[in-house]
Amino acid sequence: MISWSAKWWKLTIMLPVTMLMIIVLVGCGDYKTSKGSEKSGVANVMATITPADLGTATPDIDVWQSTCSQTGNTVVLEKFTDATASVAFKYEASAGCLAGSQSCPSIYLESFTVSFSSPDPAAVPISTWNYDITQKIDAGAGVTLTGIAMMPIALKDQYVTNGGNPGAEVRYFVTYTFHGKTEFGDKVEAKASTYILLSEWCNCPSVCL
């Protein structure tokens, strides 16, 4: 009998503009079912990640809430929200797995980490943070998660408080690290990055004061 050992690999491929793809190979070897039999299988999990602000897909992230107008003591501010992302996962298992000749495990996403880095000399530190999720992905299926947290208002404020210049356009790479496991308990992890531009983007109907 072949002894089973968990294995996983990851490959990140950058696509143009705001999209990226990750390919994760999980369990290249023998899967052991709940009944103890062993079967081989390879699974590919692909994802596209698109950043958004104000509910619109864009890499331009507004970090400063501008004033749209002021009449006496009445001040109208622009809309200012958390920056989010949409993540579309697709689980493409091997043909043999989908045909039922091999084990085809479901994948359970449990959490992700968001971190920020930048080669720009005008960049300032932004905290890394963790977020718990519960999402099952079955072989041969896909799922899209919308409104996934990326840069909450608290982090936008932190950027400015730490010395970030809202008047500049500073590029950051945002890295998502997804953590999870297969239904057999095997570890699954994948990293994927996209870029965002932090600045004082005007979202007023006409002009920003």
Question: What is the sign of the dihedral through the CA atoms of 112, 113, 114 and 116?
Answer: negative
Q: Whole-model pTM?
A: 0.77
Residue 97 φ/ψ, nearest 5 degrees: -65, -45
Give pLDDT, residue 95. 67
Cα–Cα distance measured from residue 197 to residue 171, given in angstroms and rounded to the nearest whole number: 5
For 207, list phi and psi in degrees, rounded to 5: -130, 160
Give the pLDDT confidence of 38-70 residue by residue, as tens digits: 334 455 677 778 999 999 999 999 999 999 999
CA distance 51 to 34: 39
Quote the strand ranges of the chain, DSSP E. Answer: 8-14, 20-32, 38-53, 56-57, 60-62, 67-71, 74-77, 83-93, 107-117, 129-137, 142-151, 170-182, 187-199
Name the average pLDDT for the chain.
Answer: 78
Residues 100-116, mean pLDDT to the nearest whole number: 82
User: What local confidence, expressed as pLDDT, does residue 206 receive?
Assistant: 87
Residue 37: pLDDT band with limits 50, 70, 90: very low
98 by DSSP, 3-state: which?
helix
Q: What percent of the chain lies above the pLDDT cut of 90?
A: 49
* Residues near 164 by beta carbon (within 8 Å), at least 6 away in sequence: 63, 122, 123, 124, 170, 198
Would you say how long the chain is, in residues?
Answer: 209
- Number of C-alpha atoms within 13 angstroms, CB side, residue 24? 26
State the CB neighbour count (10 A cutoff) for residue 62. Answer: 23
CA–CA separation, 86 and 48 (whole Å): 8
Q: What's the pLDDT band for 129 if we cut at 50, 70, 90?
A: very high
Please compute the mean of the pLDDT values over residues 143-162 and round it to a whole number.
94
CA dist 135 and 178 (Å) reads: 11
Q: Assign 101 a pLDDT band (cuts: 50, 70, 90).
A: low
What's the confidence (pLDDT) of residue 49?
84
Q: pLDDT category, 147, cuts 50, 70, 90? A: very high
High-pLDDT (> 70) share of the chain, %: 74
What sign has the CA pseudo-torsion 132, 135, 136, 141?
negative
Which alpha helices (H) appear in the chain, and where do they start and end? 95-98, 153-161
Boundaries of every domain in the chain: 8-199
Q: pLDDT tens digits for 155-206? A: 999 999 999 999 999 999 998 888 888 888 888 877 778 899 999 999 999 8
